[in-house]
Amino acid sequence: MEIDGEHLRIMRRGRIASISLQSLASPPSIRKGMLGTALTITSDVHNDVTLKGASHLDARAFSKELKEAWVRFNLLALEKEAARLERVLAAVRALEGPTSYPAACKVSPLLDDARALDTSLLSKLQSEAIGPEATARIAVVRKFAGDPRTARANGISAFVTAELDRWKDFFDTIESKPLTPEQRLSIVVDEDATLVLAGAGSGKTSVITAKAAYLVKAGIRRPEEILLLAFAKNAAAEMSERVEARSGVPIVARTFHAIAYDIIGIVEGSKPALADHATDDLAFTNLIKQILKDLVRSQSAVSKAIIQWFAHFLVEPKTEWDFNTKHEFYTHMESQDLRTLQGEKVKSYEELQIANWLYENGVEYEYEPVYEHKIPETGRRDYQPDFRLTESGIYIEHFGVRRQKMSNGSERLVTAPFVDRDKYLAGMVWKRQVHAEHETILIETYSYERQEGRLLTGLAEKLAPHVTLKPRPLDTIYDRIVELKQVDEFSKLLGTFLRKFKSGGYSLQDCEAKSVRMKQGQRARAFLDVFAPVFEEYQRRLDGRIDFEDMILRAAHYAETGRYVSPFRHILVDEFQDISQSRARLVKALKAQHPDVRVFAVGDDWQSIFRFAGSDIHLMRHFGREFGGSFDGEAGLHRTVDLGRTFRSVDQIAFAARTFVLRNPAQIQKRIVPAGTATEPAIRIVTVSRNEDERKLSDVLSALATGPNPEAKPATVLLLGRYRFLEPDMQGLRRCFSQLRITFKTIHASKGLEADHVILLNADSGRTGFPSEIVDDLLLSLVSPEEEAYQNAEERRVMYVAMTRARHTMTILASNARPSAFVTELKNDPAYGIVAAPGAEQEAHVCGECGGRLLGVTGQDGRIWYRCEHVQHCANLLPACPSCATALPRRADGTMETRCTCGASYPTCPECEDGWLVERSGTYGRFLGCVRYPTCVGKAKISAAERPVARRPRRRTRN
């Protein structure tokens, strides 16, 4: 062995090996033996090397020399990196009590330095060589390199605690009331991406304005380095004024479009002209309507696609086979508003197809006319075929049957799951016999024909011998569609789709492929056949001008490619739940320009209700993935702060609204601290019978006007409607209730507002009901990154917004016959703790025919009748109890009696679920017949022991 500079040379049997002094794990060891001294070298990278039989004096001297060389080598290596080590060590120690928030983007470079130093030097230094003091200093850096997350977390905790104390006076005085602990925390937290969950009435504007002022006052940023973004001009102006008024800091808040327009102007030298409709949603919708109209009149191929859509795909093409119960099927059909081009409502999608085909081809018809021949007494209602062609007198019956292959190869006809097959097939036979006997022509169509894709072609073939088709001009049909007001809502759907299509950077091929994956079928294809030419024409009419989607995307492109150099280091975004794909792209592009840019977003995913304007809730739900930083191999790093406290709603409203919106498990969980405790029921549901809307609204306003008002000023009342056409006569209401300050808003327009009392109008079911069947159209999922799987997801958030406008009370006016699914949920689930207005609720009765509800109505004869809510589909109609004339007798379990709450009882009908028997006269004398006759022909003989009189139980005396 010999020392050769920084290496130890070893010669063994003529071979020479070299070991670096850096790799020595410890000084050499010597061991005296009978045959001489053994000297052993221990290395990190080689096996131990032992020299045996050396002279003890030589071995000891060599060992000493080697140790001195080894120590010199380690100390020299440490000295070469001393400055770097000191810098890293100081930064690591500063993390124990940081003077600024240790965001991932700030600590990551330090971690990279520490690990590089550890790899190149620190891990190779030997503590015995460098001494305990240097070893202790190195250990601090090595510990940080090995567990940086704990070090950063401890640093964050230390900073936040100190900063909250340091800025206490600022937080106490920046707003009219001291900020809450949650608001203060959200301001001092300064992660790469910070999301502040600001529920309704939680003071989000206070947070974002205080954050901007804090950044400047704390010396973290200069005003020009802060980009404060709002979605609307008035919100941006209010925010700018509020920041300067509260803190004296001049920071100008801007809309996304304003900053995008500025970026384009800086890069291009001038700003392109803005399309007239860009700032006017109504003008935008009207432009889409005009494009549709012009395409119908100018391009025959496109006009056919447009008419096809309205005639056959405007509503969701579901049939009986898509449902398990009559009630589910009927509810869906009613929500779809199956109105034909001729104007009447039909009972199924397949009937709608047939009716519209007849209308398109100029075949005049009547829907469900009474059959021209009187049918002898059968116990049935008057026979009403589905269609009668008025010129030829031909009848059309559409039968809801499909073909089923049997195991032996034969076929049989089957009905939907909830339909009695034998009874239905018997009805088909009876109808054929009626037409045969009276020599009227019957054309039959079947559900299996639609299933096989030949319903309408088959109908054309069957009618050919009897009818001459006279197709109506396409523009005439379109005028009819306009007359039926079907174009308005479709134009809004097209407009929403167009904006999301552009802002998300989609292609038609993307949409077609997604429609196939989602199995949206012919309806999606029909929609895209209309959308494609509409989009092409829309782009052509821009004529060099830009809309807001173009504006944002062009600005994002300039930022991404570096043609625009951003001065911003902090990007503060208000109402973040409304952000779109294109806006998110712009924010990401600005963030990517500098490594230390932070995104601070304030929003409430529970209030994301502007999908029609392009907002994409998934950007907020996946905030970390979209905007977060990275640290120690962890991506999507961000911080979420939940403000929790509401300064608006009392507990009953705040908790009910929270429970309601969280029924969708995709919504982000947030805690709620209400503004106060209600002493009276805060949410009421008032049921409204037909034509009672004005009276019931007046009753509610009267109660509010005469009720206690703890404040000296007049109580504020906000009337909310899902649509603008629901606005009542406001002048009349203000005149009648001058002691109240009454306003009307659509729910969307009410966002950000509040009132002492809120009244929600027309919470009914239907296509333009609430939930709206239009807004949540599945077609919009073709231009969304992810489909919202939860039914009525956005409409549920709209309802949350409506509920949380109220400080003290909320009253919901809902149809007695067709209440909204939301109303039914709120009323039936005890978790909401909601009461009905006194005297407004009748006992709920289930319809034995379809599973719907039996509702009490007053007939033309002044008597009370109980009619199924699905009156268009279900013929169930029952009189009130003959004894009390108000309540509905119901079947008693385990007996053959039907009893009323008044005490009367009747024999139960043997044929139907709901009927009972009353005395009737017939050809053969007196008998007991069902009260539902002629719908039900249940009967029984009158026995001597049983008179057909209501029997009352003997009244019990109280002890």
Q: Is 204 annotated as a binding residue?
A: yes
Record the tokens describing residue 232, joined without a space. Answer: 């609307």
What DSSP string describes 737-803?
A: TTTSEEEEEETTTTTT--EEEEEE---B-STTSSS-TTTT-GGGGGGSSS---STTHHHHHHHHHHH
Q: What is the three-class DSSP state of 100?
A: coil
Cα distances from 958 to residues 228, 951, 954, 955, in angstroms, run: 75, 21, 13, 10
User: What letter represents residue 434's amino acid?
Assistant: V
Q: Which residues contact 2 (CB under 8 A, 6 or more apart)?
A: 8, 9
Q: Which of 339, 342, 349 is nearest to 316 (CA)?
A: 349
Bridge partners, 396 (sequence order)? 387, 443
- Determine phi and psi for 729, rounding to 5 degrees: -75, 95
**What whole-number distance in Å separates Cα of residue 906 and Cα of residue 947?**
10
Give the separation between CA 874 and CA 851, rounded to whole angstroms. Answer: 10
Give 477's DSSP letter: H
Q: Are strands 925-930 and 917-922 parallel, antiparallel or unpaired?
A: antiparallel
CB 762 within 8 A of CB 770: yes
3-class secondary-structure state, position 882: coil
According to DSSP, the residues that pair with 487 across neighbouring strands are none
Cβ pair 776, 792 in contact under 8 A: yes
Phi, psi of 130 (to 5 degrees): -100, -15
> Edge-to-edge strands of the sheet including 598-603?
253-255, 226-230, 570-573, 598-603, 193-197, 639-642
Total Cβ atoms within 10 A of residue 283: 12
Length of the chain in terms of residues written: 959
Which stretches does DSSP call E strand in 638-706? 639-642, 683-688
Residue 71 CA, distance from chain mean position: 67
- The rounded Cα 104 to chain-centroid distance in angstroms is 31
Nearest-angstrom CA–CA distance, 492 and 781: 15
* Beta carbons of 590 and 226 less than 8 angstroms apart: no
Q: Amino acid identity of 670?
A: K
201 is in an annotated binding site: yes
| Those residues with Cβ within 8 angstroms of residue 210's Cβ, 6 or more apart along the chain or in another chain | 171, 174, 175, 179, 183, 187, 246, 247
State yes or no: 811 annotated in a binding site.
no
Helix (H) or strand (E) holding 36: strand 36-41
Residue type, 56: H
Cβ contacts of 701 within 8 Å, gap of 6 or more: 717, 733, 736, 737, 740, 742, 759
> In a 3-state reduction of DSSP, which class is residue 71?
helix
DSSP annotation of 951 reads B
- Please indicate if the annotation marks 491 as binding a ligand: no
Q: Is 205 annotated as a binding residue?
A: yes
d(Cα 933, Cα 939) in Å, to the nearest integer?
A: 10
Give the H or E element holding residue 906.
Answer: strand 905-907
Do 170 and 246 contact (CB within 8 A), yes or no? no
200 annotated to bind ligand: yes
Largest CA distance in the chain: 140
Return the bridge partners of 650, or none: 676
Q: Is 728 left (phi over 0), alpha (psi -120 to 50) or beta?
A: beta
Q: What is the dihedral of CA 230, 235, 237, 243, to 10 degrees?
A: -80
Residues 424 and 415: their CA atoms lie apart, in Å, by: 8
Binding-site residue ranges = 198-205
Binding-site residue ranges for ATP = 198-205
